Structure 1
Amino acid sequence: MSMMRTLRLCLLSLLAFAGMFLAPRPTHALTLACNVTVTQENFGTVDVLPGAAINTNASLTVDCGITALQANIYMCITFPAYSMQGSGGSVAWQLDDPTTPSNVWSSTTPIVVPAVALSLDQKVTINLPATMFGGQSSVPSGTYTQSLTGSATWSTTSCTSHDILSSGTTTANVSAQVIVQKSCNISATNLNFGSVGDLTTVHTGQSSLSVQCTKSTGYTIGLNGGNSGATDPTARSMTAGSNSIRYGLYQQSGGSTPWGNTSSNWLSGTGTAATQTIPVYGVVPIQTTPPPNTYQDTIIATVTY
């Protein structure tokens, strides 16, 4: 009798265990969470004087992690206004449409994250082009930056769906930077004293330099000693064979303020981003008249900034 009780107790325990094993497990709905990361839009170091547009690229990654949803995910991102700021002002730029770079970024065109097999990362990386607008030659040199926080909306049907299990919102942070370098351009016109019969009187002439420098950039302009290597700005030489004519170059009319190539006789200025026209005055003093001929010299103008 005692043995029978033992057997029944064991049988009841076995049945109870089997009942636990066979009971249905509860199921849990999987929610979806997507994140956006963007590398920096770095325009590098640029010269704005030519006024050309500058292009660059970043990468935008939408990562929805490991999901059991076997469906495409659609994300739309809205960014605020584009304007990089620096101590000298601002630089205008924009994010471009990846499919049509000439168009501005569209907040209504979805980024599609394709469906993948279960337990694989569901993500996509796209090229994100950007343009710094041309026509900004008046921007002073310096570093300009901006950090944008965009609003991203996503779902498995459209960017505007609000299905609690397969839609949501997140943020998209993107930064932009450009370094505007100091820059100057210089060109010159020839100085022609004309045709003269003798050098018993003073002869004068005038030419000009055209200088364009980045706004607020300080610069100096030096004129070298010409082919003769003259160290005295008032005693350069135009030559024809073994004969020569002495002349000088000056920063002011009337033969005042000699213009040379040292710190004591440079011309100084500050860039405005516009082209500045600077006159160069030449004087041929009274001297012995050499044989008739065409007398020439070559001067190198150097702008330092």
Structure 2
Amino acid sequence: MSRSRHRLVMLCASVLLCVLATLMPGRAHAQTCTATVSSISFGTVSPITRAAVNGSGTINVTCNWTVVSLAPTALVCLNLNATQPRVLTQTGGTATMQYDLYSDQAHSISWGSTGAATTPISVTLQQPLLGTSTTASITYYGQIAANQPTVPTANNGDTVYSHSFSGAETSLMYGYYLLGILGPPGCSSLTTSGGSLAFTASATVTNNCNISASNIVFPAAGVLSSALSATGTITAQCTSGDAFKISLNGGSSNAVNARTMVLSGGSATVGYQIYSDAQHATPWGDGSNGTSAVTGTGSGNTASFTMYGVVPAQSTPQPGTYTDSVTATISF
């Protein structure tokens, strides 16, 4: 009789141990968190606009639990350890363009790391009621800093700038806890590593130019027995490294080598010419009929080019105001 009771007690103890075993947390490798980061592209950038350029990417974070877990909450912290200021580097070159990545759309919180005492991107995930895995999507934001007009292109064409994150520049840390009892912990307290995060930030710097011009206003004259001179200015701004050409058309005469101003409200004309040099040796035109266009290479900053206008001595037509409309075109 006593032996039967002893066997019954042992059986109950075994059942109890089995139940307790199912309530214990799974081994560390069974509960893991991983993340993937989409690359961020800022698209086409024209530095001479001096404007900031924004972009965004997505982080997908996945955590797994055992079927029964005493730690149903997971904290995941994504560290960006890359040094600041962060730069995109010209493909095949050394030129750089400053930018940064942020956790907020207002670009006020730079994506940082606990190691640098800055703020990593973090997310908290809960074990689902059904299943053992859940995924959260987070948007991160990027901005190319404004006022970088001298960022160059290469070989007079669109140029890719990029920053590829890998290795020690990124890290993922995570930890599981029971909300309200053992946590929540902070990112700096996490000790389990989920590896690094590989992604790329990129932008394409494109050639671009702006152009403006002031008028050439000759002095009033009663007779045209001697030459009259006046100047005007063309202002151009082109991407650094961008070769450009500025041409002037023939105006109302449609002749770059024989320009004329026409009497307002009439048909009388006054001949004149525009030169690119103070010695009046090089007529500024489109490269035809003995004229030359002005060429240069952009620096990213504005550059000024003087137009030298001359009305040579000639027969004086009837009095009045004489004008011509000339179009300046910049090619790049």
Normalised by the length of structure 2, the TM-score is 0.78
Bigger fraction of residues in helix: 2
Match of 1:152 among 165, 172, 193: 172
Per the alignment, residue 273 of structure 1 pairs with: 300
The amino acid that maps onto 1:144 is: Y
Kindly state the Cα deviation for residue 88 of structure 1 after the two structures are TM-superposed. 5.4
1:135 correspondence with 2:162: no
| Alpha-carbon RMSD | 2.2
5 Å matches for 1:101-180? 101-107=107-113, 108-109=119-120, 110-141=122-153, 142-149=159-166, 150-157=170-177, 158=185, 159-161=187-189, 167-180=192-205
Kindly state the Cα deviation for residue 174 of structure 1 after the two structures are TM-superposed. 2.2
Gaps of 5+ in 2: 1-10, 114-118, 154-158, 178-184
Q: Which digits, 9 at most, give the CA deviation of each residue in 1:113-156, with x for residues without a partner?
A: 23322424321001111111111111002210111131111112
More displaced, 286-295 or 86-95?
86-95
More displaced, 37-46 or 167-176?
167-176
Gaps of 5+ in 1: 1-18
5 Å matches for 1:176-195? 176-195=201-220
Q: Which digits, 9 at most, give the CA deviation of each residue in 1:23-70, with x for residues without a partner?
A: 876758243121111111100011111211111010011112464446
Q: Distance in 1 between matches of 2:231 and 2:205?
A: 35
Q: Which digits, 9 at most, give the CA deviation of each residue in 1:220-278, with x for residues without a partner?
A: 1100001221142xx11110111110000111113211111137611111111111011
For the pair shown, the structure with the greater C-alpha radius of gyration is: 1
Kindly state the Cα deviation for residue 203 of structure 1 after the two structures are TM-superposed. 0.9
Match of 2:197, SS state, is: strand
Q: Is 2:65–2:133's contact at 8 Å kept on the other side of the alignment? A: yes
Per the alignment, residue 26 of structure 2 pairs with: 29
Identity of aligned residues (%): 29
Q: Distance in 2 between matches of 1:96 and 1:250?
A: 52
Match of 1:91 among 93, 97, 104: 97
Per the alignment, residue 73 of structure 2 pairs with: 72
Match of 1:239 among 254, 262, 265: 262
The amino acid that maps onto 2:222 is: G
Match of 2:151, SS state, is: coil
Q: Distance in 2 between matches of 1:67 and 1:293?
A: 95
CA distance 1:271–1:236, shift in 2 (3 Å):
same
CA distance 1:161–1:135, shift in 2 (3 Å):
same
Q: Distance in 1 between matches of 2:188 and 2:277?
A: 71
Normalised by the length of structure 1, the TM-score is 0.85
Q: Which digits, 9 at most, give the CA deviation of each residue in 1:181-224, with x for residues without a partner?
A: 00111100100012111111111111111011111111111000
Q: Is 2:65–2:72's contact at 8 Å kept on the other side of the alignment? A: no
Q: Is 2:239–2:299's contact at 8 Å kept on the other side of the alignment? A: yes
Match of 2:252, SS state, is: coil
CA distance 1:243–1:124, shift in 2 (3 Å):
same
Q: Distance in 2 between matches of 1:254 and 1:168?
A: 73
